[in-house]
Structure 1
């Protein structure tokens, strides 16, 4: 299970490490599909633990869940407007 989670988080981890990425939210927006797959495999606590170990970024599962929710709402809004 751990390898599947890491594989799904690979792009997000890359973006979070990249100094050219505007924000954590922008990284979450870009990686919504992969995050959805990771979320189907593990809890937010497990996902955040993996992200923290790979990037050193300090945030918690509540923040990650909120950022994911913002992306989801944005995508749903855009889908219904299209």
Structure 2
């Protein structure tokens, strides 16, 4: 991996979800255009995979923070429980 590509990967790790998704969408558009040379396509694909993983991690982290409010029989808030992904 070139030094520039390594720096790009390091920068990607610090992106928030929206910026990572935007960058991933840009990569997909470039790859779908078919105008990118093979070597560059491979590098873009690898970067896209890292961004996809980052987006997945950000979503999982957000999901873990969601709390479900439990209600009593009268419909009043009784407490909160951790998000259950069932």
- Common fold: TM-score over 0.5: no
Asked which structure has the greater CA Rg, the reply is: 2
Given the two structures, how large is their TM-score scaled by the length of structure 1?
0.42
Given the two structures, how large is their TM-score scaled by the length of structure 2?
0.40
The structure in which a higher percent of residues are helix is 1
The structure in which a higher percent of residues are strand is 2
